[in-house]
């Protein structure tokens, strides 16, 4: 698979610790073909390994975030579905699932910016983020049932944290299309804004003022402990806090907080979380 073709599907720019990721197939409403699946996975792995990244903002080029699976392209050969669904270990994410679940593995917070269509696989990708900022008129749907399929791209991991079970079933079984404003009421999106990209930048800048280690540890703690047994949650809290207390970034943040009249010290790269 040509590397240049993969690069064309996803654009990545990094500036001042913020990684800007853009799905780049605007002529097809950023629909997911095999190349885009591989491009997203490659981008996630790169961001996961980069300890200088403070926040990630994901958008779709053009008028849409992502209209879902390019069924015609993926189903044009038997190889396509097999490539998406194959996994060596049953408990690990396959390629289709990784483009959603993989964002949860990045220690830095991931902000999804939703506009236009966010259907099916596009919504599964958005659900992998820590935050979703949408326009009020964005078109959002768990659309897989319209193709005789189930939502199988890993979005269920986040969906159970955001929606009541009956509402999740209703949206998935009907394939109903809802607006961003309605998605906010359901809890599918974090904020609705007329300028979602600018809102995402403001949120990213606020997060970047904090210690990158405390941010990464908080993300991991909540992702792992939100539904875990109380004893495990308490154990993780204690362990992560001890790891932070002996780190340099905690000392830097404490200094900056106490000495706000002085020039702030810069954080160092976060630890491996």
Q: CATH code at 127? A: 3.90.226.10
pLDDT at position 147 is: 87
In tens, the pLDDT along 211-258 reads: 999 999 999 999 999 988 999 999 999 999 999 999 999 999 999 999
Mean pLDDT of the chain: 94
Residue 263's pLDDT band, with cuts at 50, 70 and 90, is very high
Range of the domain at 47: 3-207
Q: Is residue 231 part of a domain?
A: yes
Q: Are residues 152 and 80 in the same domain?
A: yes
Per-residue pLDDT for 3 more than 70? no
* pLDDT at residue 57, as a whole number: 99
Q: Determine how many CB atoms are found less than 10 A away from the CB of residue 94.
A: 20
Beta carbons of 132 and 190 less than 8 angstroms apart: yes
Confidence check: pLDDT of 2 > 60? no
The sign of the dihedral angle between the CA atoms of 119, 122, 124, 127 is negative
Q: What is the pLDDT of residues 110-137, one digit of tens each?
A: 999 999 999 999 999 999 999 999 999 9
Greater pLDDT, 155 or 169: 169
Residue 272 lies in a domain: no
- Indicate whether 266 belongs to any domain: no
Check whether residue 133 and residue 185 sit in a common domain: yes
User: Has residue 92 been placed in a domain?
Assistant: yes
Domain boundary pick from 173, 191, 207 = 207
Q: 173 with 242, same domain?
A: no
> Are residue 217 and residue 102 in the same domain, yes or no?
no
Whether the pLDDT of residue 156 is over 80: the answer is yes
Does residue 268 form part of some domain?
Answer: no
Helical pair 230-245 and 212-225, crossing angle rounded to 10 deg:
170
Reported as a pLDDT band with limits 50, 70 and 90, residue 158 is: confident
Same domain, 56 and 82: yes
Residues 134 and 243 in one domain: no
- C-alpha 185: how far from chain center: 20
Q: What is the pLDDT of residue 61?
A: 98
Same domain for 245 and 196: no
Residues 72 and 194 in one domain: yes
Burial of residue 252 (number of CB atoms within 10 Å: 0-12, 13-18, 19+): middle
For the chain, give the percent of residues with pLDDT over 70: 98
pLDDT at 5 over 70: no
Provide the pLDDT confidence category of residue 73 given band limits of 50, 70 and 90.
confident
- What is residue 215's predicted lDDT score, i.e. its pLDDT? 98
76 and 23 both lie in a single domain: yes
Residue 77 pLDDT greater than 80, yes or no: no
Q: Can you give the pLDDT at residue 1?
A: 56
pTM: predicted TM-score of the whole model, two decimal places? 0.93
Q: What is the pLDDT of residue 248?
A: 96
Query: In percent, how much of the chain has pLDDT > 90?
Result: 81
Is residue 267 included in any domain, yes or no? no
Domain annotation covers residue 87: yes
In a domain? residue 271? no
The region that residue 69 occupies, defined by phi over 0 for left and psi between -120 and 50 for alpha, beta otherwise, is beta
Backbone φ and ψ for 21, nearest 5 degrees, come out as -110, 130
Cα–Cα separations (whole angstroms), residue 13 to 10, 165, 215: 10, 37, 21
What total number of domains does the chain contain?
2
Do 52 and 136 belong together in one domain? yes
Query: What CATH number does residue 244 fall under?
Result: 1.10.12
pLDDT bracket for residue 195 (50, 70, 90): very high
């Amino acid at each position: 698979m040509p590397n240049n073709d993969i690069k064309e599907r996803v654009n990545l720019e990094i500036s001042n610790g913020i990684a800007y990721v853009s799905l780049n197939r605007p002529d097809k409403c950023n629909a997911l073909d095999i190349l885009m699946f591989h491009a997203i996975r490659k981008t996630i792995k790169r961001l996961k390994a980069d300890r200088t990244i403070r926040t990630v903002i994901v958008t779709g080029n053009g008028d849409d975030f992502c209209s879902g699976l390019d069924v015609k392209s993926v189903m044009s050969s038997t190889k396509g579905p097999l490539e998406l669904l194959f996994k060596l270990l049953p408990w690990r994410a396959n390629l289709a699932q990784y483009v959603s679940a993989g964002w949860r593995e990045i220690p830095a917070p991931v902000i999804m910016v939703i506009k236009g269509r966010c259907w099916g696989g596009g919504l599964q990708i958005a659900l992998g983020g820590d935050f979703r900022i949408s326009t009020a008129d964005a078109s959002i749907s768990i659309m897989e049932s319209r193709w005789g399929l189930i939502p199988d791209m890993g979005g269920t991991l986040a969906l159970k944290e955001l929606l009541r079970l009956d509402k999740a079933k209703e949206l998935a079984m009907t394939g109903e299309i809802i607006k961003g404003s309605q998605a906010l009421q359901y809890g599918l999106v974090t904020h609705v804004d007329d300028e979602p990209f600018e809102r995402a930048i403001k949120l990213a800048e606020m997060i970047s003022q904090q210690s990158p280690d405390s941010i990464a540890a908080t993300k991991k703690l909540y992702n792992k402990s939100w539904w875990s047994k109380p004893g495990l949650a308490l154990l993780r809290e204690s362990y992560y806090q001890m790891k932070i207390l002996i780190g340099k970034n905690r000392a830097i943040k404490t200094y900056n907080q106490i000495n706000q009249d002085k020039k702030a010290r810069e954080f160092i790269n976060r630890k491996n979380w």
